[in-house]
Amino acid sequence: MHEKHNIRQEVKKKRKQLGFFKKRILDAWISKSLQNFKSFKEAKTVLFYTSMPEEIDTLKLIKKFIHDKNIILPTVCHDTHSLKLYHLTHVSELHKGYQGILEIPHCTKDTHDHLKIDLCIIPGLAFDMEGNRIGYGKGFFDGLLKKIHAPKIALAYDFQIHEHIPYEEHDIKITHIITPTQIISI
């Protein structure tokens, strides 16, 4: 646990050190690689997450593909400490939710069937070449990903890739990592 905490702190510090313009350039490279990625091109229904300011900007991707793909977003359900999935039809549906993250408010729509997802874009702080990831420590995505059998892609800066990430039995592995300089298939 202590090692995960240290890795989280290290990555958060490095992300804060990225300048505004460098971050935009790196985000654009990652975005372009994702858009050219075969599994993404072929996917009709994509689970995204809405990024926080220091994360790779997924909102631009969501806005770009909202009319070409079925965009599914998670919303935190505090009662069950889990994520519920909703189909996004317009960005105006998004409102600040858990920790200021843009979400579709609860009960405004029917939930989406997790079995009908073709591809997942997954958040995280650190990743390794075995597909292990360190998230933010709440376990929301691990619970959700157990139910989804689609490819799981992490968007990351190169400094988020580590030689080894500590993992536990319940952790769900990702299948690909896209950075500004490489696409890693696991």
DSSP 14-33: HHHHS-HHHHHHHHHHHHHH
**Contacting residues for 89 by C-beta, under 8 A, at least 6 apart:** 66
pLDDT tens per residue across span 30-86: 999 999 999 999 999 999 999 999 999 999 999 999 999 999 998 887 777 778 888
Residue closest to 134 by CA, chosen among 7, 17, 28: 7
**8 Å CB contact between 76 and 97:** yes
DSSP secondary structure string for all residues of 77-118:
ETTTTEEEEEEES-GGG-EE-GGG-EEPPTTSSPPPPGGG-S
pLDDT tens per residue across span 94-139: 888 777 788 887 655 556 666 689 999 999 999 999 999 998 877 7
Question: Of all residues in the chain, what percent carry a pLDDT higher than 90?
Answer: 66
Residue closest to 118 by CA, chosen among 62, 178, 46: 46
pLDDT tens per residue across span 140-172: 788 888 889 999 999 999 999 999 999 888 788
Give the C-alpha separation, 54 to 67, whole Å: 26
Which domains does the chain show, CATH number per domain? Answer: 2-185 (3.40.50.10420)
Q: How far apart are the first and last CA of the chain?
A: 24
